Structure 1
Amino acid sequence: MTRSARLLRLPAAVLLFLLVSAGLVRAQSCSFTASDVVLGQVDVLGTGPTDAVGNIAVSCSAFLGLLSSIDMRIHLGEGAGGLGGGLRRMTSAGTSTGLGYELYQDAARSVVFGGSYGGHGGQNLRLTGSSILNLLTGSGMNVPVYARVPAGQNAVAPGNYASAFSRNPLDVRVDYRTCNILLLCTDRTATFSFTVRAQVVPDCRVQADDLDFGTVGLLDRPVDATSQIRVTCTAGSSFDVGLGYGLYGSGVNDRHMQDLTGDRIGYQLYRDSGRTLSWGLLADGLATTSAGSGTAQSFTVHGRVPPQATPRPGAYSDTVVVSVTY
């Protein structure tokens, strides 16, 4: 006696419905995480921008055989620092001026990474078609976020600056739609968070003009001349301007110019027009103190060649180092 096995056969439409249902369950979940965008130290007195790159990691669970498409749009708002001067802003405790920056979709930093929510504007980033196929395997993808702090922000004071992008939908929002082969689609939203960070460091720039006493015959009377030192330091930074003793001097009251034969002419440098306050180094207590504003400040050097024995005719010179301590 033989026994025959009976197999349960399901209609093809029912089997397809079950598989599609299972696929839909797996296709609905996408997760998003982002690294902080760390711009590091920013020299606001510099002539070039400061750039950095962050990353948004996207991963979706999907049943590749039955999921036909994902259409995704990532929106970024202005962040907690707000807006100013046409840029996003980072803020720092104790400072009133924010640090301007911007986020971009491309390495050339030409397409502002924005969105349809909040007040920043710009363009949302759309991911669809071939650019998102690797999400279907669950391996995920990385979306770069390109940041830039433009130059020319001299008025920004030193400090640690930041702007947080929270899970507030006005700061960060992802709108995405998943559709299966039967064109049954599901719309979802998601958020994530990250922070843009930078540190503005104190810095100074200095330029100095030559001090020229001109052409003189006999040194039987004082010979005076002036020149300018221009110092630019970050806003709020305290700094001191000191002058060295030159190549042939040994102290604040012993500076000399020399010619090719070795003959010398003594001279002095002063901080005041009356030529009573000698100008020396910070260690001498004879430097000039000021506070940075982010713009150039001018300091006058008052020079004097006192009466002395006149050496042989020649071209006399010296090199004095300007030291800015901040």
Structure 2
Amino acid sequence: MEYTEKVAEENFTVIGEFILLGFSELPNLQGFLFGIFLIIYMIILIGNGLIVVITMVDPTLQIPMYFFLGNFSFLEICYTSVTLPRMLTNLWTHNTAISLMACAIQLSLFLILGVTESFLLAVMAYDRYVAICKPLYYPLIMNHKVCVQLVVVSWIAGIPGQVAQTYKVISLPFCFNELNHVFCDVPPLLKLACGDTSAQEFFVYAVAVLLGMVPFLTILGFYLKIITTILKLPLVTGRRKAFSTCSSHLIVVGLFYGSGIITYLIPKSNQSGIKKILSLFYTIVTPMFNPMIYSLKNKDVIAALKKLLVQILA
């Protein structure tokens, strides 16, 4: 047993950088992929940027629901900017090397912002719960001070746990440096580690359950209460309006958690291609569609966007 551990320790070398394989299996499509991802990134920046602006300047949107939506859109810009610019650079320059420190920074920011998204989605669900289930107390419960506190907690809640998780993963002894992924993430990094990584995997699961699944289960709890309340409403039009204010949020929750849960709950899966697609789904595709999901079903957002465009073009 001691001999085996010694051999494992002697075989690994200190790795100072990783090679992100990304889409190396598609050498003839590098230019095409660069163009596609550049267009997607511009759509994310413009779409979410417009949501941020209108929720700040339009007087009709100065209510808690749109305050949270503006923060969520800003978060999506930050979340995407952690991974997508690096992917674009790699596709353009064909230099896919990333230093250990740069990988650690990217991983840490990616994990922290992922937790922020989970908590912010839970906060938005709580806002809808109070608005629908306790409408008379809504102005009192969701006052500006409470809204700011909820947002601040959402932004900082994941920092200690995810910084610790990043340190645990990055400080592992690595036997290989070819990272079969499009950015630095926990599951593909664990595959490169030497020896037994069960302790690190347990820590990943524990943090994922605490900072990911707890907000998800909280969201489900709020929406069970919301649906129960809506079904008790006497008028069909009232039910329809209440459902319409929640449907956009539910779609976003489904897209984010659906792909994220599949990716993180099967860390030993060998289906790297599927996992790459899923990671792109919740880091790029979902942020791209969020502004459309929220605006197409919301007359106030559409009206505010039209007013802003008129002012810009005038």
TM-score of the superposition, structure 2-length normalised?
0.20
When Rg is computed on C-alpha atoms for both structures, the one with the higher figure is 1
More strand by share: 1
Q: Which has the higher helix share?
A: 2
TM-score, normalisation: structure 1:
0.19
**Greater relative contact order (Cα < 8 A, sep 6+):** 2
